[in-house]
Structures are given as C-alpha cells and as structure tokens.
C-alpha cells in the first residue's frame, strides 16, 4: 500500500508540474509572438524539458537513496548519452546566441518544431539522475 501511494503521489506531482510548465510555456510563446522576442520561450523550453526528465527519474532515485548505500557516478553513460542529448536539447538556444554555424543546427531548426529538442532534453535529465548509482546496483562488471 505504501508503494502504491508513493507511485500515485509521484505521478500526480509530475503531472501537475508538467501541466503548469506547459501552461507557462504556451503563455511565453504567445508573449514572444507579441513582443518579437523569442529568447525567453526558447530558454524555458530547453531547460524545462531537462527538468521534466529529472523529475521522471526522481521517484526511483528517492527509493535508491533510502537504501543508504555508497554512491558512484557513471561517467560513461553521461559522456555517451548525456552530452550529445544535452547538445541537441540546447541547439535552439545556442543558435540564438551563436548563430546557425553549429553542428546539426540547420537540420534541427529546419524541422520547425521543438519536439526533437524536447525529447533530447528529457533524455538528458533522466540520464543525469540515472547515472547516480549505488554500489549495490552496480555489481556487474563490464570488461
């Protein structure tokens, strides 16, 4: 019963935060169309997707923290999955600041939608918290 309530309330909190964030993002998009300044909208969209990814992993991390084990950080996962997904998530923001001379910026910006960068941001946020591992969960050794 405790596990059910924990999962239920975690899902409710994530859903509520997601709703509030999407409402705020929609208001920023409308405001940016009126005042012709897209930077606040792009900045929020980039960082909010990362925050949602972290929020999706947070309940499992809380359960792992309760075990009170020694912790380690999986650098390989962050380098192989996290850094490329962070770059893709930040391409719209980097394109505003540095221009379109970045790797893959033309491809991402030509898509015309931020869905691709949003998914990459969610992946980065999730991988960032998933890279924190207790020693009890990382007993399998890879060559």
What's the CA gap between 118 and 44, in Å, rounded?
11
pLDDT at 3: 79
Q: DSSP string covering 83-122, please?
A: HHHHHHHHHHHHHHHH-S-STTHHHHHHT-SSHHHHHHHH
What are the boundaries of each domain within the chain?
A: 2-134
pLDDT at 2: 82
What's the CA gap between 65 and 59, in Å, rounded?
10
Res. 137: pLDDT tops 60: no
> Which residues pair with residue 134 across a beta bridge?
71
The pTM of this model reads 0.78
């Amino acid at each position: 019963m405790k596990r059910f309530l924990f999962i239920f309330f975690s899902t409710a909190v994530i859903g509520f935060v997601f709703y509030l964030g999407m409402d705020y993002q929609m208001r920023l998009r409308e405001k940016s169309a009126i005042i012709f300044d897209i930077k606040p909208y792009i900045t929020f969209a980039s960082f909010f997707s990362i925050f949602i990814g972290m929020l999706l992993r947070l309940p499992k991390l809380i359960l792992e923290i309760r075990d009170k084990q020694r912790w380690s950080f999986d650098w390989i996962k962050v380098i192989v999955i996290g850094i490329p997904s962070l770059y893709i998530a930040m391409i719209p923001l980097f394109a505003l600041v540095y221009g379109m001379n970045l790797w893959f910026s033309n491809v991402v910006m030509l898509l015309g939608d931020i869905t691709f960068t949003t998914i990459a941001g969610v992946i980065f946020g999730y991988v960032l918290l998933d890279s924190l591992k207790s020693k009890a969960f990382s007993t399998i050794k890879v060559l």
